[in-house]
Structure 1
């Protein structure tokens, strides 16, 4: 027999101590087990209260509450990898027949992300007190994406929460792989570019100034490249720190201008016009659109509601505004293949697959197959883009270094010839 007699009991600490919440498991002399939570200033207060009611504590542990997160300096960022691990573990436990409350208790102790552990400890307490899992998630929108919350709500309502979480695990695994592919594709060119800037700065501020006195004593007319190099070196020595600060401010201003509103829209529109970048961006949008919409429809979420969620995950402002028009058409009872085609954004194959899915009543299946296809295409094109960027950056670096070396060598050759 399990008893829970202290769920709302609050023990006031002495001397203005901070009140914390503790989860306990206890037994009495008759063998009755009691479990629940207590609010007290420390563990000793919990032991005292339990013993007053003739219960002997077996286990007492402090619950980290959501309001304590700032004190712990934990970031409120939960990435796709954390969500994939969460969904996979949750789904596995539910399929094994473990109750939701027990699953939340286990997750609050074993998840690697400290923020998730803290949040699930709070959710465990709420669900134990009678709230549903979806109700507990609804108040935590800043931690969980709307896709996750809506899918859990639909799975809980249909009794297929384990399957829904399994699908979500696959979705977030693919999302994580997609993000990693993009990051890995850009890592090498960025590193080479940073090294190039550092090398050029070193040459201009350390190497070139050593030749200035030599050139000055020669009294010869210096070639144009050498004069340009000496002027640039002198400028960097005097104003290098200001140039660096200007570049940092420029990058920060660019980020602010392109991170919201009309600036974000114009930047995303520009990306869709760049020759090599456009293909990768369109395939990324297509992958997220078809994969997310497919998994939402398979769960049983209505099309209009699903499109509202999809708009927020496509990652492109142009596509987001276009999908607003598609959503309005669907709300009026029309299909989505025609308005998608009118956007002139998505590839013809995706439009055809959507049209076939609408006609055959298998839209979710067609979308998921389309997502798999574009995942492969995106990986191929990211590799191709990286292959093109690498030699371009190397050639740029080599050209800059060659210019500096040549600018120094030309007057040296002339001086050697004059002496000879």
Structure 2
């Protein structure tokens, strides 16, 4: 297996440098064609064996440590948008921001953007495209759409507002889950220490004369099991999780099964479907209202999605649209074939938008409604998780307390017989 670096053109002729893993150069070219890109053998810039050293190199650990935080990227984009709205050119804007920027990492990125502007280019997309870590496909689509209008500055400001809104919502729920997880880990560690090292001390108190209460006996057996097999269990669990994660990442069928399982899981499944449908509505509405071609907008949605089941749904919709169907008909077709993972409200939105010729605005309304629904469903999911979480903690605490309490009572009641 090799990693090929290829300079390919998308459906609109924009050149992009891409990396793709394949067994041969022919297969690499064909894989790019399947993704909607055009390239020839002469466009292959580099090919290297998919070895461990190359994988470590591709991680770019030093570069990641010095990367620009997303909040600084959004600040940069907002300043560019405001400056363009006031009639300044992109290069003048970047030079002004760079001269007054304190962050060395961001200043370095700005300088590289300016260097790209000094080279021949046919579209401003080529200035930002070499930095996909900072400027995603949605951003590049907005840049391309803004070049044909006088509203690029406004588009970029709106983009940063939406990104900030998404980041705040994601950070809020991630923060709640992380706090629950950290609390659970702390409680679990304390429980393991008590069971493994404190509980065994009671064995000396009982000796052979007293019958040990059942709860304490359970904890004694659990303590002996943890002390004997604890390290082995940790090693097996770590190896199992690592192996399963690798299989899911590297095997397409395994990844499909896992993503399908998540989308159909109780509670989580509906929440994820709502999230992906809201994401679909957001990207399409944002891009369509900025006059981006719907097929190009769909391809941007695909590149911004990580779930392979959703990607397959979007690709089927694109094929139907390329065959002459409108978005509504394509979504309906997927739903009737049982292959759609989107919630039903998107179908009605597509129908209304197609009939009124305001598909972008209609999808934006749906996206706003889905944001509220998503918030409610995520809150319910977190509430259900919290109930289970606290129930486990309380059950553990009650059982340990009962075991210790019952042992103390038995020992106290039989103290005279032990003298």
Q: CA deviation at 1:379?
A: 1.4
8 Å CA contact 2:284–2:301 kept in 1: the answer is yes
TM-score normalised according to structure 2 size: 0.76
Larger Rg over CA atoms:
1
State the match for 1:247 in structure 2.
237
Pick the aligned partner of 1:321 from 312, 315, 325. 312
**2:88 alignment partner, SS class:** coil
Pick the aligned partner of 1:389 from 381, 385, 388. 385
State the match for 2:219 in structure 1.
229
Aligned partners of 1:175, 1:78: CA distance in 2, in Å? 19
Cα 1:265–1:175 change in 2 (3 A) is: farther
Structure 1 unaligned runs (5+)?
A: 1-69
**2:414 alignment partner, SS class:** helix
- Tell me whether 1:99 sits opposite 2:89 in the alignment: yes
Cα 1:382–1:329 change in 2 (3 A) is: same
State the match for 1:128 in structure 2.
118
Aligned partners of 1:334, 1:116: CA distance in 2, in Å? 45
Q: CA deviation at 1:79?
A: 6.5
How is 1:137-148 mapped onto 2 (pairs within 5 angstroms)? 137-148=128-139
8 Å CA contact 1:151–1:296 kept in 2: the answer is yes
Structure 2 unaligned runs (5+)?
A: 1-59
**1:98 alignment partner, SS class:** coil
**1:219 alignment partner, SS class:** coil
**2:211 alignment partner, SS class:** coil
**1:158 alignment partner, SS class:** coil
**2:267 alignment partner, SS class:** helix
Aligned partners of 1:88, 1:302: CA distance in 2, in Å? 24
Cα 1:92–1:297 change in 2 (3 A) is: same
Cα 1:71–1:402 change in 2 (3 A) is: closer
8 Å CA contact 1:283–1:378 kept in 2: the answer is yes
**1:275 alignment partner, SS class:** coil
State the match for 1:166 in structure 2.
157
Provide the aligned C-alpha RMSD in A: 2.7
Q: CA deviation at 1:295?
A: 0.9
Aligned partners of 1:96, 1:327: CA distance in 2, in Å? 38
- Tell me whether 1:181 sits opposite 2:172 in the alignment: yes
Report how many aligned residue pairs link the two structures.
Answer: 351
Cα 1:270–1:115 change in 2 (3 A) is: farther
Q: Deviations over 1:200-232 (max 9, x none)?
A: 1121223112212113x2433334432221122
Cα 1:390–1:199 change in 2 (3 A) is: same
Aligned partners of 1:265, 1:379: CA distance in 2, in Å? 26
Cα 1:190–1:320 change in 2 (3 A) is: same
Q: CA deviation at 1:408?
A: 3.0
- Tell me whether 1:281 sits opposite 2:269 in the alignment: no
Q: Deviations over 1:91-117 (max 9, x none)?
A: 011112222111122343556765443
